[in-house]
Structure 1
Amino acid sequence: MSLSSLWLSIKNYAAHDDPLVATANLIALVVVSNQPFYPLYLYWLVGPDIAPSYWLFLSTPFFAAVPAVARLNTIAGRALLPVAGIANTMLSAKVFGTASGVEMFLIPCVLIGLVVFRPNQKLIGLTIAGLAFLVFALLHGRYGAPMHVYTPEEYASFVKLNATSVGTLTAFVGLLVAGLIDGRK
């Protein structure tokens, strides 16, 4: 399979007539495409102990399934994206510890939950946003010992990495929703 036919397959997989569904699909596939690089970012920016990051690949099939689920049920597909993000954030907080700043990923989960549903579906979005807030309020500091304890310097680098990643993802979602990026082309 050539690179252009692979790209066309991915575009077709993400495509949907409903622009909110297409937006959720694109966000999900961007997350999937970035997940393999996270261990590399950790290695380069935090330190050599990246083995705990392999646990995060448990969420990859859920993000990758968003377009398939959306073809069956558009609401379920759109909801799967932020719910998978919340679950991945919880797993990350357990794996790395809250000192890593990984709970910041709840911010784009809230944003996605609020923007991929129509006004008449706002209860769904508000419920997802509320779930993210509830996860932070109830679980912050209660995940137990992380799988690996990093040094204070490594945790500082971790926070910078996660803040940059969260800022980038949040900006990407904002640009999509504002129509400044057209993911349907």
Structure 2
Amino acid sequence: MNTLRFGYLKVLFLILSLVCFSATATSQEHQSEGSSVLSDGKLTKKELAAAMLTAEKDLTSMLKASMSVVEEEVENSGIFGPGAWMVLKDRKLKKVRLDEAAESAPPAAKLRVFRASLRSLARHEKIDASLIVYPGTITKEGKKERVVVVEHEHRLGIAGLKLVPLKLGQGNATFGAPISQEKSFQIFYDQRDKRAE
């Protein structure tokens, strides 16, 4: 009789434990869902506008900084090399610096180093935006024209490429109207090699 009563007590204790645990878990689950900005899975127009404004400010600050450096280099030496900038999580703008070995590398190698560095920082969620500039040429009406190639990406889902015409006359650099093009993500949301997985 004692073993039967002990069996009932074990079952009763188990049922009470499960009921209490599931109520606590359900309560915490609903609390965390409701406290999130995306608790309903949608952005309001106000939240979307704020996100787009943040992205625009980040990309604009990087573009201004990069074009200022390009202008200075072109006016001093007639040429410019690849460069990269990033916006950190605390909204600070920072120029990407290369070590001595990478600094003396050819431009194509520098671009690969910039992309790899920025991709690593993005994967570790250290940055929100990236921008890379490098020299290029386009053919317009049968003539080759110098351009500043600007690749930019933002964690908020923006990626693009701008070709900014560049002219140097009497020691002064002037920039034409940018030509925008679509670009796939290379820094944020990149596709890892499926063979490696």
Q: What TM-score results when the alignment is normalised by the length of structure 1?
A: 0.31
Q: Which has the higher strand share?
A: 2
Structure number with greater Rg is: 2
**Per residue, is there more helix in 1 or in 2?**
1
TM-score, length basis structure 2: 0.29
